[in-house]
Each structure stands twice: as C-alpha cells, then as structure tokens.
A and B are shown apart, each in its own frame.
Chain A
Amino acid sequence: MLFSNVSYLVLLIIFFAGILYFVMQQQEGAGVWEDYYAKEIVKIIDFSNVGDNICLDVHRATEIAQKNNVNSFSEIFGIDNAGNEVCVKLSKGRKTCFSYFNKVDVVNVDLKLGEGKDESGRDVNLLCFNIVEKQQEGGENA
C-alpha cells in the first residue's frame, strides 16, 4: 500500500515537472516571439545589399528575454555567418534558428538600449548591424 502511494506520488511529481517545464517554455509567448523575430531578421538580411546599415526595433524581444531571465543581451540574438543562420533566444534552454539565403556577412551586431523611438515617442531598444561582402571564412557575430 505504501509502495503504491509512493509510486503514484513519484509519477505525479514527474508529470507536473514536465508540465511546468512546458509552460515555462511558453511563458510570455517566448517560442512564438522567437519564431517571429528570427524570421523578420532573416527577411531583412535576405532583402539587403552589401553596404546596408540596418537597425530594427527589438524592444518586445528584449522585454520577454529579461522576464525569462535571459540576462545577457548577446545571448538573445545570434547571427552565424558560417552557417548563414539567425538564432533568437528569449527563454532559457532553447533557441529558434532560421537560415538566410543571401550570400552576405552580417557584422557589427549591436544591441542599442533605449536609442530608438517608436510611434508614440517611447524609447525602444534597437538591434543594429551592417551587411558586408561574404568572407571566405565566416564566423559567429553575436
């Protein structure tokens, strides 16, 4: 009887730990926003030409990342020139990645805090980067 109760309890704990992990992953819609930002950044890189300097409003992403304890801003946006891939991480443990087809390198990736303005005049965080000619040996830039 005691053994039976203990096994129920263990199963229940495992189950709720799993559910908690899943819900924590979805907190603030982190997965949805990761997907959105990764694809929007890829869209801009694919559309850009060599010599372009780009700044994007990423305020919502930085807010979600902070709420989910992703405290290092350099962890949030990763652009891998070698793999032609953009990765966005807004919650701990997982990141969402998407590939771009434009043969360019993305350099000087910088998160500028409170340097932009939205339509209502509120300060917003910007992600800025430059598009340059593809180098033979690419590297991680963020």
Chain B
Amino acid sequence: MHKKGELGEQISVFMFLFLMFVIGVGIVIGVFIFFGQGYDFREVEANLLNYKIGECIKENEITEGFFEKENFFEKCKLNKETIGGNNIIRICSGVEDCIGAEKSLLDVGSNFQACGFEGAKKNEAYPLCAINEFSKGEKKFEIITGSKQFARRNLG
C-alpha cells in the first residue's frame, strides 16, 4: 500500500520535470523566433578580404617572393593570426580550376573544395567564399577567399 503511494509520487516528479522542460524549451524557441537568426557576416567578410587582396596585387609589383606568406601579409597589411584562425585564402595564376588545383601561388587554410559545394552554403561548418578573377598585365589571377568566423559571446 505504501509502495503504491511512492510510485504515484515518482510519476508526478517526472511530470513536473517534463513540464518545466517543455516550458523552458518553449520560451527559448519563442525568443529565437522573435529575434530571428543572427546576422551571417561570412559572405561579406569573404568578399571584403577578396577585394583587399585584389587591390593589393594590382597596386604592388609582383616580385619573386611576393606570395611568400610573411611577405604577402606584410605587403597587403593583413593580420596573419586573425586570418589563419578565421579565413581561407588561395591565389592561383594560369590554372583552369583554382579550387581543385594542386599548385597555387598562396594557400592559407585548407578545404577549398567547400567553396565549390552548393550545399555548403547552408552548412555553418563550412566557410562561405568569394571567388574573383582579374588580369594584371599578361597574367591572370584567381583569388578564392572564405570566412568561417562567427561572433563570440564572452563573459565580461
């Protein structure tokens, strides 16, 4: 008789916790629906970086060591650490398919194939990319840039 009473009480604990869970999830979903998804900046950032690199190549004389990483970041006034963590860059010249090319002038980061996947655009794990082609003198350049940076919420 006593045990039956305990069973009823245990069931009500689960019901209580379940109700709290449902209310909590409802409030969280409601807030996110109300405010919408965050502002996805990745494509803008990839385009900005692509533009900056394009301008840098156009404005500078392309010497032999221009595309060596240290020299390139210094000449183009780009922050190596930030780009290494948040962006990808590939610069090609004279190749058909820069995304799949085995040889490039400069590679920062990896997984350039993701820039060619249509389905990757909705996947937050992949970078969003910008691809641009231009000529300087007789040389044709192709620049692929991508961004995988999201805002960070820190305590403070």
Chain A positions within 8 Å of B, measured between CB atoms, are 4, 8, 11-12, 15, 18-19, 22-23, 26, 29, 31-32, 34-36, 38-39, 42-43, 46-47, 84, 87, 89, 93-104, 134
Cα A10 to Cα B38 with chains together (Å): 34
**B28, closest chain A residue (CB):** A22
Whether the Cβ atoms of A97 and B39 lie closer than 8 Å is no
Chain B positions within 8 Å of A, measured between CB atoms, are 9, 16-17, 20, 23-24, 27-28, 31, 35-36, 38-39, 41, 44-45, 48-49, 52, 73, 77-79, 81-83, 85-87, 149, 151-156
**A8, closest chain B residue (CB):** B16
Whether the Cβ atoms of A43 and B48 lie closer than 8 Å is yes
Whether the Cβ atoms of A101 and B24 lie closer than 8 Å is no
**B19, closest chain A residue (CB):** A15
Q: Which label, helix, strand, loop or mixed, suits the secondary structure of the A interface?
A: helix
User: In the complex, how many residue pairs between chain A and chain B have their CB atoms under 8 Å apart?
Assistant: 101
Smallest CB separation, A29 vs chain B (Å): 5
CB contact between B39 and one of A23, A36, A93 (< 8 Å): that residue: A36
Q: Which label, helix, strand, loop or mixed, suits the secondary structure of the B interface?
A: helix
Whether the Cβ atoms of A94 and B24 lie closer than 8 Å is no
Known contacts A18-B24, A32-B35, A93-B156; 20 additional CB pairs below 8 A are A12-B20, A22-B27, A22-B28, A26-B31, A35-B39, A39-B41, A39-B151, A43-B44, A46-B45, A84-B81, A93-B155, A94-B153, A95-B153, A95-B154, A98-B41, A99-B86, A100-B79, A101-B82, A102-B77, A103-B78
Whether the Cβ atoms of A46 and B77 lie closer than 8 Å is no
Cα A89 to Cα B79 with chains together (Å): 24
Which residues from B are CB-within-8-Å of A84? 79, 81-82
Smallest CB separation, B13 vs chain A (Å): 8
Smallest CB separation, B122 vs chain A (Å): 19
Which residues from B are CB-within-8-Å of A32? 35-36, 38-39
